[in-house]
Structure 1
Amino acid sequence: MSRFTIPMNIADNGWFNGQGMALFSREPALKARAFHQQLPGYQPTPLYAMNAFAKALGVSQVWVKDESRRFGLNAFKMLGGAYAIARLYCQKYQIDINNFSFEQCRNSPREKMTFATTTDGNHGRGVAWAAKELGQHAVIYMPKGSSQERVDHITRLGAECIVTDMNYDDTVRLTERTATEHGWEVVQDTAWEGYTEIPTWIMQGYATLAVEAAEQMPVAPTHVFLQAGVGAMAAGVLGYLVDVYGAEKLHSVIVEPDRADCLYRSGRSGTITPVGGDMNTIMAGLACGEPNPLGWPLLRNCAHQFISCDDRVAALGMRVLGNPLQGDTPVISGESGAVTMGVLAAVMFHPQKQDLMQQLGLDESSRILLISTEGDTDVQHYREVVWEGKHSISGCNNQEHQHG
């Protein structure tokens, strides 16, 4: 087997205390899941057991939850956007969320609402979908460098889409100012002073995938690797999992691109530490420089480690998932979706594999949960990586080559 090193920094969390949060726990997660279950076309996304990969890595089990199969939208994000928009609509018009119906509200004579958000692609697509299903308007802002394909996914759902000349975090601020001027409702998965209720609903909506995964796994996981941008999905999902399994018993690892590793830096410092600049990473959905202040306390308390990694880790994960060992199920996973599998593959091929396994608490009894959060949301780039070898390991430090 080849041996090579892809740049990847692992920081132990010295602030871990295992304290969960009631906002992101079992009860609100089950409430969100009940909402999703009543949506037409709802079904749990599949969880695949990657037995051959697990054996090659030297662990008991690796499970991959495939969120590309979520409502035909190729990503998990609609779980949060749809839930928040429904909660917002019900709050405004005094409707019981348990009696909510997209169809009934779409045909209502009530005044139309406009929902605005900033997105790297998947969240905006989910907001646009929910607005369309509800018969409302959506205005979606995207940071500079956003691909035309991701823009097209949003506009096809009837939303207005505006690509700015700013990075993600500055675009969020632009969205908030513009929405205030026009009286629009902001549906953003990060929070700031005076804006916490809607992002809380979004994060609770994300937990549906964790509820499903817990039902699908035949035994409890020992590890979960979660990718993070602002940390909304990571905190929403981890909050449910630690409530069910216990933070001490579930070794959780947060993974980010090294060009947007605000949580990695925050984990090292113990306080929110933003990252500025362009954050030019292939992991568009994770290119966020400011942690969500709602989710940060839970990640600080319950994550065991933070990883900051090179783009080639994500590219490796895309290729491994799309072209698995014999007997494992192929998974089409995009740049942000595949990075956690990329971490495990990078460990497997590393010259100091055993040292990394020990650092991550991995051994032959480990059972690892991964979330492939998106499919090929940018098909052209997916093909460039998986077919053409873009962001290949050829530029890495190849320590040795041996057959085995």
Structure 2
Amino acid sequence: MYLNPEARLRGGPTAPAWDGAARAFHAGLPGYAPTPLAELPDLAAELGVGRVLVKDESSRLGLSAFKILGASWAVARLLADRFGLAGPVGTEPLRAAVTREPVVLTTATDGNHGRALARMARLVGAHAYVFVPEVLQQGVVDLIAEEGATIERVDGDYDEAVRRAAKYAAHTGAELVQDTAWDGYERVPAWIVDGYRTLAAEIDECATPDLVVVPAGVGSLAQAVVTHYRGRAHVVTVEPDSADCVRRSLIAGQRVRVRTGVTSMAGLNCGTPSSAAWPHLLAGLSGAVAVGEGQVATAVADLAGLGVAAGPCGAAALAGVRRLPLDRLGLDRTATVVLLSTEGPPPTPGTT
């Protein structure tokens, strides 16, 4: 693992102040409600801390993951800019604009982001064209297709799917809504990160964390959490040991690309940290942990036994905190730990 307990006290890169506009937009979406923050005293006793709270994203806006928070806000901002609408605006003005001028939204995904984008495309009357890596399970692909998206499976990993989506957007005029950044592509990923902060704002209404544990793919959610809790709480990321690009980059002191494989944590199966997220992660993460398949399977079962329905990505937070030396972060029996369970078990295609 990587540990840097002093990171909580660092200033880090300057980030725009969060004005809450994203949350106001989310509140207008069909089915919005803050997701549960479940208190699990058995886990607090196990870890030797005061409280363990699990932010359960298994029912976020009718989907099974947090990703719709970023995708919806980015689409709203992108289309408002495209059509010259005074934003932020709700879905009905966006749908009216798309009716006059059809829009294709495109992205690459390991699963939940693509499904969220496809859902948002459906809400505003656009079409989604989604690129997926070859290792993505067919059941996950089917869920994206059920939202009305066109799917293209790529002969390669997630990073290759991202390249293909960017190329498709450049050649066709489709709007790229990607949740990772690179040089020259920062605006939309920044909106996605902004959208994710709704999740942290909901936590603040119920608890004051000393540690937040975040499953990390390219690091955009971790960027949102680090930015939100700068100077207030430790933030630690968790990744599969087969795709731990954030942890290895932190150890190297620079962004590195890792070769990915097959993992049950499909949404975390990413080989390169987002360029926009990286400075925030380097300055602000107190730790990064890699976990194995067996550890995550145990965490899934343990959370289920405690009444929290978590998929492998979501349960990674519990698997990761179990590996942390909490005393080295200065945490004791008075500490409050928040675990982000970023997804629930994927529903069976055809049931939603």
TM-score, normalization by structure 2: 0.94
Residue 338 (structure 1) aligned to one of 315, 330, 347: 315
One-letter amino acid matched to 2:4: N
Q: In 1, Cα distance between the equivalents of 2:206 and 2:176?
A: 34
SS in 2 for 1:216: coil
Q: In 1, Cα distance between the equivalents of 2:322 and 2:12?
A: 30
Gaps of 5+ in 2: none
What residue in structure 1 maps to residue 233 of structure 2? Answer: 250
What residue in structure 2 maps to residue 240 of structure 1? Answer: 228
Residue 26 (structure 1) aligned to one of 3, 10, 18: 18
Q: Is the contact made by 2:4 and 2:287 (CA closer than 8 Å) also made in structure 1?
A: yes
Q: In 2, Cα distance between the equivalents of 1:26 and 1:101?
A: 19
Gaps of 5+ in 1: 1-9, 325-329, 348-355, 381-404
What residue in structure 2 maps to residue 274 of structure 1? Answer: 257
One-letter amino acid matched to 2:209: P
Residue 317 (structure 1) aligned to one of 260, 279, 299: 299
Q: In 1, Cα distance between the equivalents of 2:242 and 2:29?
A: 37
One-letter amino acid matched to 2:3: D
Deviation at 1:357, TM superposition (A): 3.5
Deviation at 1:25, TM superposition (A): 4.6
What residue in structure 2 maps to residue 159 of structure 1? Answer: 149
What residue in structure 1 maps to residue 84 of structure 2? Answer: 94
Q: How does 1:2-401 map to 2 (within 5 A)?
A: 10-13=1-4, 16=7, 18-23=10-15, 25-27=17-19, 30-98=20-88, 100-108=89-97, 109-217=99-207, 220-242=208-230, 246=231, 249-276=232-259, 278-324=260-306, 330-345=307-322, 356-377=325-346
Q: In 2, Cα distance between the equivalents of 1:257 and 1:221?
A: 24
Q: In 1, Cα distance between the equivalents of 2:94 and 2:135?
A: 36
SS in 1 for 2:238: strand
Q: Is the contact made by 1:190 and 1:199 (CA closer than 8 Å) also made in structure 2?
A: yes
Q: In 1, Cα distance between the equivalents of 2:251 and 2:327?
A: 20
**Deviation readout 1:201-259 (Å, 9 max, x if unpaired):** 01111111001111122xx21111111010001111221122xxx2xx41221111111
TM-score, normalization by structure 1: 0.82
Residues 86 and 26 of structure 1: CA distance in aligned 2, closer, same or farther (over 3 Å): closer
One-letter amino acid matched to 1:372: S
One-letter amino acid matched to 1:104: P
Q: In 1, Cα distance between the equivalents of 2:143 and 2:216?
A: 22
Aligned-CA RMSD value: 1.8
Q: In 2, Cα distance between the equivalents of 1:251 and 1:105?
A: 38
Deviation at 1:13, TM superposition (A): 3.0
Deviation at 1:343, TM superposition (A): 2.4
What residue in structure 2 maps to residue 350 of structure 1? Answer: none
Moved over 4 A (4+): none
Q: In 1, Cα distance between the equivalents of 2:348 and 2:54?
A: 21
Deviation at 1:15, TM superposition (A): 8.4
**Deviation readout 1:305-344 (Å, 9 max, x if unpaired):** 11122122221211111012xxxxx111011111111223
Q: In 2, Cα distance between the equivalents of 1:283 and 1:319?
A: 15
Deviation at 1:345, TM superposition (A): 4.2
Q: In 1, Cα distance between the equivalents of 2:141 and 2:22?
A: 28
Deviation at 1:368, TM superposition (A): 0.2
Q: Is the contact made by 1:337 and 1:373 (CA closer than 8 Å) also made in structure 2?
A: yes
Q: Is the contact made by 2:236 and 2:286 (CA closer than 8 Å) also made in structure 1?
A: yes
Deviation at 1:14, TM superposition (A): 8.3
Q: In 1, Cα distance between the equivalents of 2:16 and 2:199?
A: 13
Give the number of aligned pairs. Answer: 347
Percent of pairs with identical residues: 39
Q: In 1, Cα distance between the equivalents of 2:5 and 2:329?
A: 14
Q: Is the contact made by 1:258 and 1:309 (CA closer than 8 Å) also made in structure 2?
A: yes
Deviation at 1:101, TM superposition (A): 2.3
SS in 2 for 1:68: coil
* Structure of greater Rg: 1
